[in-house]
Amino acid sequence: DKATRRKRAEELLEQLHLPLSYYDKGVNQCSGGERQRVALARALAFDPEILFFDEPLSALDFRLRKTLEKELKDIHRITGKTFVYITHSLEEAMVMSDRIGIMRQGRLVQVGTPDEIYNQPKDKFVAQFMGEVNVLEVDKAGEGKVRVINSGIELAAHKLPADFDKGFLVVRREVVRIGDNAADMANKLKGRLFNEYSLGSRVQYQIRMSEGATWVVERLRDERYSGQLDDEVTIGWQPEDAMLVAE
């Protein structure tokens, strides 16, 4: 009846941090963020078991998007509903998901928790989807070693599978050291520093390698490289911080 519907609507408005006066407000009178909340309230009114979200926050500004991310997480926890959330944003996927499914050309290629997908990608596609990475094509060079195919450089590999023949060594930008901080790393390469970007608490470096590839290194500000652009620099990482993956 009407009283029951009114009560349900008011409960949802409260859950979604909207004033009760919005019960009589037209959607065209709402802001972008309010419209998203109203749309969610309407969907929840039917008490569905599963809700499907197709990039609902993509058109919103940064601050509003971050606010609604937290609110959606809260609503998911409170309602206990299953949320299927489509996004091209790595950050949204990592922040909001209990489990992530990565799709490629209409096929599901890997499913796991955010930590599993990030730290144990199935292949190069998944590794690159989960953040900007440095990739070397390698083959097996001996016990515990791989060889970079286009340069012949040998590198130490962590837990090299017995059946590994050829694949890709993936090194995330945040595990790579630069300059003096790379001195004690087991794996080292040389290149030339050609760009530096300040990211607030972090600094990102772009290194041009001799074969033409570009490596990205990202460090905390207190580990900032003290040299100059166009310096020849050493970059390095520990074997256990890299991942071997298939194509």
3-state secondary structure of 72: helix
CB 233 within 8 A of CB 179: yes
Domain with CATH 3.40.50.300 in the chain: 2-98
Q: Looking at the DSSP assignment, which residues form a beta bridge with residue 237? A: 187
pLDDT category at 29 given cuts 50, 70, 90 is low
Domain(s) labelled CATH 2.40.50.100 in the chain stretch across 134-245
pLDDT in tens, 151-210: 999 999 998 988 899 999 999 999 999 999 999 999 999 999 999 999 999 999 999 998
| 82 neighbors 75 (Cβ within 8 angstroms) | no
Handedness of CA 63, 64, 67, 73 (dihedral sign): negative
pLDDT of 43? 86
Give the CA distances from residue 21 to residues 2, 7, 17, 26, in Å, rounded to whole numbers and listed in that order. Answer: 17, 13, 12, 11
CATH number assigned to the domain covering 2-98: 3.40.50.300
CATH 3.40.50.20 fits 134-245, yes or no: no
Q: Report yes or no: 120 and 133 within 8 Å, Cβ to Cβ.
A: no
Instruction: Give the integer Cα–Cα distance in Å for 236 and 189.
Output: 6
> Which string of DSSP letters, residue by residue, matches 147-182?
EETTT--EEE-TT--TT--EEEEEEEGGG-EEGGGG
- pTM for the model stands at 0.81
Q: Is 20 exposed, middle or buried (0-12, 13-18, 19+ CB in 10 A)?
A: exposed
